[in-house]
């Protein structure tokens, strides 16, 4: 096995991360298009040894590159994204979002942890191997996109069109996040997502509630009745068919989850900050978060603080799905349930939202998981890595599986508490070196992993 590079030049890593973070590559705001181009060019510039290039799409460009000089070794596809969320309310930031500031061993900036810091880790590992050994320990393709924060709309067609160019044995993703700062972890599943609006229409215009109150169905009342029917009072989803096909939790799964350190009271007090936890009966909090599908009413709106019977009332609903739940079947089940519970005197419409994503998972016994665990053990010898689950979605991983037939190993050195999508986003600088060492370990191990060498071997 080749040697791990030293990764001793922290000053340079921080300086270059600063350059990357100073580019406000906000994918949701059209006026930043030139910043997206600049960020893509910056990434391509880091990949000159691998033929790094910017490829146009229907949306923001995708950066590709490849180093394929390890015949007989597996090929991995490294995934990340150079786009960032909008800064949001800038008054909430202690330092400006696009002027990276180092405080207390952390770099604060929009995109620091999602996903520019973790992308830098992957780029620097490749560069370090190339400098040290004149090549990489295995074949590596790079795909760094610029639309992750807006749902990767151009990625499906791009993957279809570049299927051959992207042939590999495994995707290794620099996106994702470790569960907690104190416990090294690998996420082995992510929930799916399906969203819909429920629109209740009553009078054509808002009516005066004094002149007309009592004679017509109030859309707010009708919506409340529909929404109240979606769950049992105890907290289970009451939509018939919602749990169809959901695998029951076996004793082995339960035992595995029970071994994950999780303190309900600390979670209640510090994370959720609620008077009491509440959820589907018969499951622990961790089971509810990781294994069970959910239905949440994210938004309700109708009328206002004045004396009207509003013309309409709406709810935005999203479900988090687990494997074997099909988004379209869930949508159908909810539509049927709402239809069966439609109160009199109003019209009720179900408006499916775009961007439904099924759940993603990689088997806990996939060979890449064992190598990833070993790589984490090498960097964090005192802490046994945890296999965790995500409540969020991984649209890109679902696309890689569907279009390229590849499983994705999530190997990000972002941490879930680093203010993703919020003001004062940060990235722990210690994760830079830890991440590089772990990625280097992983690559060396995957290079020797015979099981991975599949049909795509070059």
Residues numbered 182-201 forming contacts with its own copies, rule: CB under 8 A: 191, 193, 195, 197
Q: Among 45, 92, 181, 213, indicate the residue that binds its own copies (CB under 8 A).
A: 213
321 close to 358: Cβ distance less than 8 angstroms: yes
Q: Among 217, 241, 253, 367, indicate the residue that binds its own copies (CB under 8 A).
A: 217
415 close to 431: Cβ distance less than 8 angstroms: yes
Interaction of residue 239 with its own copies, rule CB under 8 A: no
Site for its own copies in 123-152 (CB under 8 A): none
Is the torsion defined by CA of 375, 9, 17, 47 positive or negative?
A: negative
Q: Among 127, 173, 318, 408, indicate the residue that binds its own copies (CB under 8 A).
A: 318
Interaction of residue 410 with its own copies, rule CB under 8 A: no
- Of 12 and 421, which has the nearer Cβ to its own copies? 421
- Beta-sheet strands, E only, within 28-98: 53-55, 62-67, 75-81
CA distance 380 to 438: 9
438 close to 2: Cβ distance less than 8 angstroms: no
CA distance 418 to 14: 17
Interaction of residue 208 with its own copies, rule CB under 8 A: yes
Interaction of residue 331 with its own copies, rule CB under 8 A: no
Interaction of residue 78 with its own copies, rule CB under 8 A: no
Least distance to its own copies from the beta carbon of 278, Å?
Answer: 3
Least distance to its own copies from the beta carbon of 81, Å?
Answer: 18
**What SS3 state is found at 356?**
coil
- Of 116 and 292, which has the nearer Cβ to its own copies? 292
- Of 132 and 353, which has the nearer Cβ to its own copies? 353
- Of 124 and 288, which has the nearer Cβ to its own copies? 288
- Of 191 and 445, which has the nearer Cβ to its own copies? 191
User: Nearest 5°: CA angle at 102, between 97 and 104?
Assistant: 125
Tokens of 144: 């760094």
Q: Among 275, 281, 354, 381, indicate the residue that binds its own copies (CB under 8 A).
A: 275
- Of 294 and 456, which has the nearer Cβ to its own copies? 294
Range in contact with its own copies (rule: CB under 8 A) among 76-84, 93-101, 138-146, 231-239: 231-239
- Of 313 and 438, which has the nearer Cβ to its own copies? 313
Site for its own copies in 283-312 (CB under 8 A): 285, 288-289, 292, 294, 296-310
- Of 77 and 227, which has the nearer Cβ to its own copies? 227
Interaction of residue 272 with its own copies, rule CB under 8 A: yes
Interaction of residue 345 with its own copies, rule CB under 8 A: yes
Q: What is the DSSP string of 102-157?
A: EETTEEESTTIIIIIHHHHHHHHHHHHHHHHHSS-SSEEEEEEES-GGGT-TTHHH
User: Residue 221: beta bridge partners?
Assistant: none
Interaction of residue 28 with its own copies, rule CB under 8 A: no
Interaction of residue 53 with its own copies, rule CB under 8 A: no
Interaction of residue 347 with its own copies, rule CB under 8 A: yes
Interaction of residue 228 with its own copies, rule CB under 8 A: yes
CA distance 103 to 429: 10
CA distance 25 to 146: 8
CB atoms within 10 A of CB 209: 15
CB atoms within 10 A of CB 109: 29
Interaction of residue 389 with its own copies, rule CB under 8 A: no
- Of 123 and 386, which has the nearer Cβ to its own copies? 386
CA distance 367 to 450: 9
- Of 207 and 406, which has the nearer Cβ to its own copies? 207
User: Nearest 5°: CA angle at 345, between 340 and 348?
Assistant: 50
Interaction of residue 180 with its own copies, rule CB under 8 A: no
Count residues contacting its own copies (CB under 8 A)? Answer: 77
User: Residue 118: beta bridge partners?
Assistant: none
Interaction of residue 337 with its own copies, rule CB under 8 A: no
Burial label for 252, CB within 10 Å (0-12, 13-18, 19+), is: exposed
Site for its own copies in 415-454 (CB under 8 A): 416
Residues 6 or more apart whose CB falls under 8 angstroms from that of 105 comprise 428, 429, 430
Half-sphere exposure for 11 (CA within 13 Å, toward CB)? 0
Strand order in the sheet with 192-201: 312-321, 192-201, 347-352
Interaction of residue 351 with its own copies, rule CB under 8 A: no
Range in contact with its own copies (rule: CB under 8 A) among 44-52, 69-77, 211-219, 361-369: 211-219
Q: Among 3, 157, 247, 274, indicate the residue that binds its own copies (CB under 8 A).
A: 274
Interaction of residue 390 with its own copies, rule CB under 8 A: yes
CA distance 395 to 270: 29
Least distance to its own copies from the beta carbon of 310, Å?
Answer: 7
CA distance 418 to 427: 6
Interaction of residue 38 with its own copies, rule CB under 8 A: no
Least distance to its own copies from the beta carbon of 289, Å?
Answer: 5
């Amino acid at each position: 096995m080749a040697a791990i590079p030293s990764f001793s030049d922290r000053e340079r890593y921080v300086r270059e991360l600063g350059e990357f973070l100073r580019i406000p590559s906000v994918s949701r705001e059209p006026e930043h298009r030139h910043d997206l181009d600049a960020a893509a060019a910056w990434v391509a510039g880091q990949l000159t040894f691998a033929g790094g290039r910017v490829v146009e799409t229907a949306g923001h460009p995708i950066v590709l590159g490849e180093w394929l000089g390890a015949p007989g070794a597996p090929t991995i596809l490294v995934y990340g994204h150079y786009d960032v969320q909008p800064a949001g309310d800038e008054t909430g930031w202690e330092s400006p979002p696009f002027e990276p500031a180092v405080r207390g061993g952390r770099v604060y900036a929009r995109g620091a942890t999602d996903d520019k810091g973790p992308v830098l880790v992957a780029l620097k590992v490749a560069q370090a191997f190339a400098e040290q050994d004149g090549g990489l320990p295995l074949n590596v393709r790079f795909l760094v996109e610029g639309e992750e924060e807006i749902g990767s709309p151009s990625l499906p067609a791009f993957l279809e069109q570049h299927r051959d160019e992207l042939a590999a044995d495994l995707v290794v993703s620099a996106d994702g996040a470790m569960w907690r700062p104190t416990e090294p972890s690998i996420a082995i599943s992510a929930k799916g997502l399906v969203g819909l609006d429920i629109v209740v229409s009553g009078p054509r215009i808002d009516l005066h509630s004094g002149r007309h109150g009592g004679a017509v169905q109030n859309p707010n009342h009708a919506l409340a009745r529909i929404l109240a029917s979606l769950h049992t009072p105890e907290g289970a989803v009451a939509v018939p068919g919602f749990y169809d096909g959901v695998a029951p939790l076996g004793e082995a799964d339960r035992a595995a989850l029970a071994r994950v350190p999780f303190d309900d009271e600390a979670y209640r007090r510090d994370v959720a900050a609620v008077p009491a936890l509440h959820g589907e009966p018969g499951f622990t909090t961790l089971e509810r978060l990781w294994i069970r599908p959910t239905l949440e009413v994210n938004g309700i709106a109708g009328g206002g603080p004045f004396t009207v019977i509003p013309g309409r009332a709406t709810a935005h609903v999203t479900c988090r799905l687990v494997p074997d739940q099909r988004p379209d079947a869930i949508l159908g089940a909810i539509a049927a349930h709402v239809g069966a519970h439609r109160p009199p005197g109003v019209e009720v419409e179900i408006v499916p939202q775009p961007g439904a994503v099924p759940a993603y998972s990689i088997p806990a016994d996939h060979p890449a998981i064992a190598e990833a665990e070993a790589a984490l053990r090498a960097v964090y010898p005192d802490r046994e890595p945890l296999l965790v689950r995500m409540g969020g979605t991984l649209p890109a991983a679902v696309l890689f599986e569907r279009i390229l037939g590849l499983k994705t190993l999530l190997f990000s050195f972002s941490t879930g508490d680093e203010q993703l999508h919020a003001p004062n986003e940060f990235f722990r600088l210690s994760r830079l070196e830890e991440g590089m060492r772990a990625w280097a370990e992983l690559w060396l191990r995957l290079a020797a992993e015979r099981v991975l060498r599949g049909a795509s071997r070059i």
